[in-house]
Chains A and B, each alone.
Chain A
């Protein structure tokens, strides 16, 4: 469905004289392909999804047609004050960026028209907007409002804004591909329906997206099931070159993985490329790693052999992530665009559209977590005309090299993973229902119909919907016998949010409204503590982390070393100190997972590599690796060694077999089992949990479980061992989904996800009523106490349903596991004396999750017995 008149003239003709005149002056080269395709489409009044790579003039592509219309109304004397266009972006900084970019044409147009003030007014509303600005907007809204999904939800729930939506004719959603597959996007989609409903007309929707394949799910997300959407795909501007991505190994051939060593080399390599380029953006996958790298880049003196300081760490290296103070973040973005920074180290916050100006290289530490991410991140560089996006992936282990190579190959080919939309998340529905209730009395049927018009909730079941209303009204009943017989025997719920009567519902009181306004949003950071040092606010750290610190402990934030002083409630008081930051953060690429396709590709590659290693001899093998994966000799050597080692010690698993390797658990009594399968992390975790459940039932003992791409490990206690006879049952297709669920319930995953679900649905408030926060209970109360209480009170609570759905569909990939099991892979069990190279490489130790099959009392008794025995007698 891709079409568009690729004709500059036709596009410019669509614009009125003023806009055209300004554009011709400002951009004599003419409109970009994105602009040429977008303007006629938008002017036609159809909903449009514009797909275009970054840096191709999307802002103007999206906006100029709309601004032009307003200008023409002004010329005809018809432009009245009032909101006409709402522009939504997922990042606060992106919003400010757009405002700045918009001000260029608006000022230009104003000058052309010889006016003192631009007739088209623009305003920005985010969490950072001051109270004064907010009031000004409410009293006299601008023509174009730039905002975030959370702020939009807030505005829609305020009576003071109720009349402002009537004139809205256009809705623009930027970076829509980043929203389409998330709960945040689902929240936005529902807000857009509420906006459309409040406007009384059907505003035209414009979506701006980076490349996504296929585009149809994103279009459906934007407009919902009942509307049509024109998909306009702009090619890269002619003369632009494909992505250049290099993969390097930080390990040398013959070395085993060693964090300290690879980290030092990582730093050295980064320092080197920062020196060789004007501006480098460095992506580290976790916040601790981001901070550590930034800190060391700023402070460490050059090593022997390095030619002095190529850049000034203090002023030219910065950190950027979402836990930093907003003002600080903005400063960094400004400096970056002005070319004042040589390096910015970030976790993910710079991934999306913020124009980073002069970056000419992107460095990725470890795996980027998917092809789409890889393309997005590397696309951060080379934005100047004639520039080329260049990326460098630094891999710390042989497994990482292989995975990075496969990802880079797919990125160069533009083979982006298809998006998996989120289906009817009930926690988001609950939050939106509270929002609707805050706006005013709402009809139950009308609310349901509205929800079904939004893409993500198009298939929302009526029963689920009514259960959400019951929860919010405090009407949920439990199973009979669950509670003591008492007058009004159904469990009472504290603080119901809405009243519900005769087919209508509304907010119960002003208190609930305040709770909604202070807690709106779905980006669920863990509970965080604000860090204050020397009177200045630095940023935040995870609450759980803050609780573990003792006075004198050091940590890094904003690239600076801080010393913990005390924790008062949720404020962490610290002192700025110089010097060593402390332990190395854990390296592994965290939650970053390969896609289903890439995992299968990687597994097939391993097999092929093993075959060539055996048949073709070492030199030909290495040459083939280097050619196929586009690796330098060192990286190819490192991968080759891994394959050869695995073939010596064990075997390379075929794609049609499940290889189980048994080895004694390092440092403890007992056996560990590494399972190798051609499945990505989500599918491995699904199958692995089912296997855990089966082993748990079989032996009745606690196990520890860890999943990764291409496999998982299960550690069993010392007197338990898997037998050949157990194998058939382990991989049986029977009851797979049930066993996955059981495996989930035995671990901590469900309780952890429930915490986020409870927060999004506003069952538990992240920002409680001021002065009433309950301190007894601690940070884990929701997972350890509330989750079992809710399960007992109401096993079919909508939030429990949502937790299960999220786990089975978003976190785990049960269908992929099932599909592979249906091919009836052969099961091979090998007993080894030590972990195999593949087990060590692919399924890293640490971060494993205990699965409880033992009762806690038994486990305590066993611990006590061991302690007594170790002390050599009774204590």
Chain B
């Protein structure tokens, strides 16, 4: 029960970890989103010949997360898999992931995302819920209208881009947490230059960027572009 708090960023009772998970210590729960397992098989179905990697990368990253200790449940806030169509290899990878987590005493729960259409029908599916409540926050994918007063969502893959650097980031406000994509394959919603959904304008969101072993709070996204300008190392 000793999460390594030093590297995590606290927010409204959550601990945001550099791996991309929001941890709720008292519930021994970690929430991630957009794992996109089986990405390579989807690309293979489209015709690409690339190395299988998503299961290995996901496990390596989860390993680092679980090493913080005190996690007994992992909730995936949608898009556990990449392929909405049934894919035997992806299903096998999902089953392997479930076994791996179970061997470490971690229960796997998935709130369905837009890519997860075939998940329930796979041979050994994980526990599936439309949404899950953790300490008053509703964990959901984020592709549908929001449920509940306070929400933890994924789906948008927020990314911080400036001065030729790019890194996944959290967007956090008093009643909304947008998780970065857990998968390295997701191209991102550019929070500095891009248009964020209108619904977020009043959410008071701040941008917290993963940087190696720690996190950096870059402040409110509404003023982010302006504040970066004098600090930018090159005129982009």
Contact = CB atoms under 8 A, between A and B. Distances in A.
Nearest to A430: B49
Interface stretch (A97-105, A405-413, A770-778, A823-831): A770-778
Interface stretch (B24-32, B69-77, B144-152, B224-232): B224-232
Interface stretch (B116-124, B126-134, B196-204, B213-221): B213-221
A747 B45 CA distance: 32
B47 interface: yes
A859 interface: yes
Interface in B39-61: 39-53, 56, 59
B214 to A, nearest CB: 8
Nearest to A516: B47
A703 to B, nearest CB: 12
24 contacts: A491-B52, A494-B52, A495-B44, A511-B47, A762-B49, A764-B49, A768-B48, A769-B46, A781-B185, A785-B184, A789-B51, A789-B53, A790-B51, A793-B53, A794-B51, A856-B165, A856-B167, A857-B213, A860-B212, A861-B212, A864-B211, A867-B218, A870-B227, A871-B227
Contacts of B213: 857
Given A492-B52, A778-B187, A860-B165, A867 B227 contact: yes
Interface in A767-805: 768-769, 772-774, 776-781, 785-786, 789-790, 792-794
A764 B48 CA distance: 5
Contacts of B186: 776-777
Given A769-B45, A769-B46, A493 B52 contact: yes
B235 interface: yes
B56 to A, nearest CB: 5
B204 to A, nearest CB: 14
Given A483-B56, A704-B234, A860-B165, A777 B187 contact: yes
A822 interface: no
B209 interface: yes
Contact of B36 (A519, A763, A776, A867): A776
A494 B41 contact: yes
Interface of B: 36, 39-53, 56, 59, 82, 162-165, 167, 184-187, 195, 209, 211-214, 216-219, 227-228, 230-235
A850 B162 CA distance: 13
Contact of B39 (A472, A491, A774, A857): A774
Contact of A774 (B43, B195, B219, B227): B43
Contacts of B184: 785
Nearest to A852: B164
A866 B231 contact: yes
Contacts of A864: 209, 211, 216, 218
Contacts of B59: 484
Contact of A855 (B45, B212, B218, B233): B212
Nearest to A547: B187
A494 B48 contact: yes
Given A484-B59, A762-B49, A790-B50, 20 more contacts: A484-B56, A492-B51, A495-B44, A668-B234, A704-B234, A768-B48, A769-B46, A772-B45, A774-B43, A779-B187, A786-B50, A789-B50, A789-B51, A860-B165, A864-B218, A867-B218, A870-B230, A870-B231, A875-B217, A875-B219
Nearest to A775: B187
B50 A768 contact: no
A499 to B, nearest CB: 14
Contacts of A471: 49
A863 B161 CA distance: 11
Interface string A435-479: 000000000000000000000000000000000000110100010
Interface in A598-646: none
A863 B82 contact: no
Interface string A755-767: 0000000111100
A667 interface: yes
A765 B46 contact: yes
Given A495-B44, A768-B46, A773-B46, A875 B218 contact: yes
Contacts of A253: none
Contacts of B216: 860-861, 864
A369 interface: no
Contacts of B217: 875
The 8 closest A-B pairs by CB, nearest first: A494-B44, A857-B212, A778-B187, A768-B46, A867-B231, A793-B51, A495-B44, A875-B219
Contacts of A768: 46-48
A767 B42 CA distance: 15
B19 to A, nearest CB: 13
B218 A494 contact: no
Contacts, number: 145
Contacts of A474: 49
Interface string A708-725: 000000000100000000
B94 to A, nearest CB: 15
Interface residues of A, number: 59
A429 to B, nearest CB: 15
B228 A867 contact: yes
A699 interface: no
A263 interface: no
Given A860-B216, A867-B228, A763 B48 contact: yes
B49 A495 contact: yes
Contacts of B48: 494-495, 763-765, 768
A645 B232 CA distance: 33
A774 B42 contact: yes
Given A774-B39, A861-B216, A497 B56 contact: no
Contacts of B231: 863, 866-867, 869-870
A794 B49 CA distance: 13
B30 to A, nearest CB: 21
Contacts of B235: 667
Contacts of A717: 233
A867 B162 CA distance: 11
A136 to B, nearest CB: 29
Nearest to B224: A867
A654 interface: no
A515 interface: yes
Interface in A265-297: none
Contacts of B39: 774, 776-777
Contacts of B162: 863
A519 B47 CA distance: 10
Given A769-B47, A774-B39, A863 B163 contact: yes
B45 A493 contact: no
B163 to A, nearest CB: 6
Nearest to A665: B234
Contacts of B209: 860, 864
A126 B168 CA distance: 45
A515 B47 contact: yes
A781 B54 CA distance: 14
B47 A765 contact: yes
A667 B211 CA distance: 27
Contact of A493 (B42, B50, B165): B50
A492 B43 CA distance: 13
Contacts of B43: 494, 764, 774
Interface in A540-598: 550
Contacts of B50: 493-494, 763-764, 786, 789-790
Contacts of B230: 867, 870
Given A491-B51, A785-B185, A857-B212, A772 B46 contact: yes
Nearest to A848: B234
Contacts of B187: 776-781
A496 interface: yes
A871 B228 CA distance: 9
